[in-house]
Amino acid sequence: MSIDAGRAVDLSAVVSKPAESTAASLPGAPGDTDLMLPGLVLQADDSSFASVLEISNTVPVLVCFVMDAQRDEPMVRTLSEATVKLNGRAVLVNVDAGASPQLVASFQADVLSATEGGQSPVVGAVLAGRPLQLFVGDQTSEMIEQVLQQLLIVGEQSGIVGTVTTPDMVSGRSARESAGAGEVPEPEVPPLDPLHQEAFDAIERADYPSAVNAYERALKENPKDEMARAGLAQVSLLARLSGKSLADVRNAAAADPDNLDAQLDVADLDLSGGHIDDAFDRLLGIFPRAGADDRNVIRVRLLELFDVVGAADPRVVAARAKLTNLLF
């Protein structure tokens, strides 16, 4: 399929700092926390995932997974209009769900089953490289604007307070006019850190142990590398679930509620399917009756799952508080 709404710009090469000359003299001119992008409505796939992550370090990135372009067009347009109203404080990225399995997997969302079941589009966001799930299906413009305002607040709490500028905005056109700007010179994409690139390459070939190894080495080199930390948590989850079927995992847990490994597997499965509260509640629920060694295993797994979802997510904040109360 092809997503057109708002003449979305292909996100194959978009991350670039704006020039300091003309832009610097304009009101709201871009500074160190700004990006120059071809438009405010973009289109991405697995090959441009790195660019989505880069952009999300400057502004919140709204991600719309679409399966049926014709069916979802009204909703995509509503999302585009709501994003444009923010005048560069957020970006919308449209994704062909069926052709982008890695992006779908990175959101731990059952995007394909939702879209195939007539519930598309599935809408999420990325903040500082961390994926969040927002809602599924058609929503009112008022609700979408409320969600975007909440997303901006969460972004501010995470230090994501930049602005996106487009060439048309610099030349005097409005954000609405520049939203679908199509033909502009493609800026150069900064290369990924070699270890991050090694991890992405390994994920693409489903070599999760190698991806884990690459992220672990990246964290050893720079313990403050939050993108590597989030990537490690995500790929570790994929590695743990690899080769396991949904039915087998759930049947094993139901057959032996006291089997910690089985309960950990179900928590992984719940989170991978977007049932984040269920995953957290399951592990927090068995924590009080577990022995000392098992409690530490549960604590470590919860911290890993927190990294997958992202520290700023309200569900993580609530679950972390519950864990702290249980520990002390």
Q: What is the CATH number of the domain that holds 39?
A: 3.40.30.10
pLDDT of 181 reads: 40
Rounded to an integer, the average pLDDT of 40-60 is: 83
Q: Binning pLDDT at 50, 70 and 90, where does residue 266 land?
A: very high
Same domain membership, residue 127 and residue 205: no
Judge whether 234 lies within some domain: yes
Answer yes or no: do 14 and 137 share one domain.
yes
Among 20-29, 107-116, 138-147, 281-290, the range of highest mean pLDDT: 281-290
Same domain, 64 and 203: no
Q: What is the pLDDT of residue 312?
A: 74
What's residue 296's pLDDT? 94
| Contact assessment for residue 309 and residue 315, using Cβ atoms and an 8 Å cutoff | yes
Domain boundary among 142, 175, 208: 175
The answer to the question of residue 181 being in a domain is no
- Rounded to whole angstroms, the Cα distance separating 162 from 156 reads 9
**162 and 239 in a common domain:** no
CB-based contacts of 300, cutoff 8 Å, min separation 6: none
Q: Does 30 score more than 50 pLDDT?
A: no
State whether 277 and 167 are in the same domain: no
Domain total in the chain:
2
For residue 111, pLDDT over 70 is answered with no
For residue 244, is pLDDT > 50?
Answer: yes
- Cβ burial of 133 (10 Å; 0-12, 13-18, 19+) is buried
- Are 83 and 148 within 8 A, CB to CB? yes
Matching residue, tokens 């939050």: 226
DSSP 177-217: HHTT----PPPPPPPPPHHHHHHHHHHHTT-HHHHHHHHHH
The answer to the question of residue 266 being in a domain is: yes
301 within domain boundaries: yes
Q: What range does the domain containing 61 cover?
A: 9-175
pLDDT in tens, 195-242: 988 987 887 787 889 989 999 999 999 998 877 888 888 888 888 888
In three-state secondary structure terms, 283 is helix
Question: Are 295 and 252 members of one domain?
Answer: yes
- Please check whether residues 211 and 311 belong to one and the same domain: yes
pTM of this prediction exceeds 0.85: no
Residue 200 near residue 50, CB atoms below 8 Å: yes
Instruction: Provide mean pLDDT across the span 44-58.
Output: 81
Indicate whether 184 belongs to any domain: no
Judge contact between 184 and 172, C-beta under 8 A. no
**Cα Rg, the chain, nearest whole Å:** 20
Other Cβ atoms closer than 10 A to 269: 22
pLDDT band, very low/low/confident/very high, at 172 (cuts 50, 70, 90): low
Query: Is-contact 79 43, C-beta < 8 A?
Result: no
Helix/strand/coil for 49: helix
Gap between the Cα atoms of 69 and 325, Å rounded:
47
**pLDDT at residue 149 tops 90:** no
Same domain? 225 vs 322: yes
Same domain, 205 and 138: no
Looking at the fold, whether 170 and 285 belong to one and the same domain comes out as no
Query: Cα torsion for 297, 236, 128, 166, to the nearest 10°?
Result: -170
pLDDT value of position 270:
84
Confidence band (pLDDT; 50, 70, 90) for 99?
confident
Does a structural domain hold residue 182? no
